Amino acid sequence: QQQVKQSPQSLIVQKGGISIINCAYENTAFDYFPWYQQFPGKGPALLIAIRPDVSEKKEGRFTISFNKSAKQFSLHIMDSQPGDSATYFCAASRDSSYKLIFGSGTRLLVRP
Amino acid sequence: DADVTQTPRNRITKTGKRIMLECSQTKGHDRMYWYRQDPGLGLRLIYYSFDVKDINKGEISDGYSVSRQAQAKFSLSLESAIPNQTALYFCATSDSGDRRSGANVLTFGAGSRLTVL
């Protein structure tokens, strides 16, 4: 049972464009929604995270949009750069707990 | 040196062999995890440990075992490797006392790529 569904599986964007990755979750008890970024040959690293008490969180060119009623959240990368090319994972957990449930990942390629 | 070190980084083995993947950390974190990454399936939790005396099964623990030898060391064993255990394995750590976000921020190692023939 996939508790966090992520789409698309892969994404190609031109430099300067907007990259959008979507995730949907099932468990309404989830209260923490991070995004992890993984470069080839490296482990994932926390990029940005949000809690359901806000609808949006922005850090530089990265923004999380959160829709609690739809049980969906998305990552927007503004002015996408070739250096943003990586695999992105959404995740969710409850009660600030240890069990992060990850999505299936999105491979982003930003063309120069 | 990396905060979370995994060894070996790459390993090719044969069906039926016993394999151990090792993880050590210098972050002083109490929590440690083993995840498995497969294309299209994301990261799935195999085992996790809150401290040396606490070991818990994750989503996909069958065919795996772990040992928390010390706070800084957490090893993953495949007692009898099979081809569908071919994957990229990640060790991760977190600090139960992390209050920056009130949530569990994972620090991952660079991964161990295992191929079972």
3-state secondary structure chain A: CCCEEEECCEEEEECCCCEEEEEEECCCCEEEEEEEEECCCCCCEEEEEECCCCCEEEECCEEEEEECCCCEEEEEECCCCHHHCEEEEEEEEECCCCCCEECCCEEEEEEC
Summarize pLDDT for B5-37 with one digit per residue, the tens.
999 999 999 999 999 999 999 999 989 999 999
Residues 6+ apart with CB under 8 A from B55: B47, B48, B49, B66, B68
What average pLDDT is seen over chain B? 92
What integer pLDDT is reported at residue A94 of this predicted model? 82
Percentage of chain B lying above the pLDDT 70 cut:
93
Average pLDDT over residues B74-93: 96
**Could you tell me if A91 and A36 are in contact, meaning their C-beta atoms sit under 8 angstroms apart?**
yes
For residue B103 the two structure tokens come to 């949530």
What integer pLDDT is reported at residue A2 of this predicted model? 64
CA distance A86 to A47: 12
Among chain B, residues having any CB pair with chain A shorter than 8 Å are 4, 31, 33, 35, 40-45, 48, 50, 58, 90, 92, 94, 101-111
pLDDT at B40 over 90: no
Average pLDDT over residues B39-56: 92
Question: B50–A98: do the CB atoms touch at under 8 Å?
Answer: yes
What integer pLDDT is reported at residue A111 of this predicted model? 97
What integer pLDDT is reported at residue B7 of this predicted model? 97
| Amino acid residing at A64 | I
Chain B interface, best mutation among A94, A102, A107, by max B CB count within 10 A:
A102
Question: B31–A98: do the CB atoms touch at under 8 Å?
Answer: yes
What integer pLDDT is reported at residue B98 of this predicted model? 55
Phi-psi group of B86: left, alpha or beta (phi > 0 → left; psi -120 to 50 → alpha; rest → beta): beta
Written as tens digits, the pLDDT of chain A (112 aa) is 568 999 999 999 999 999 999 999 999 989 889 999 999 999 999 999 998 889 999 999 999 999 999 999 999 999 999 999 999 999 998 865 667 899 999 999 999 9
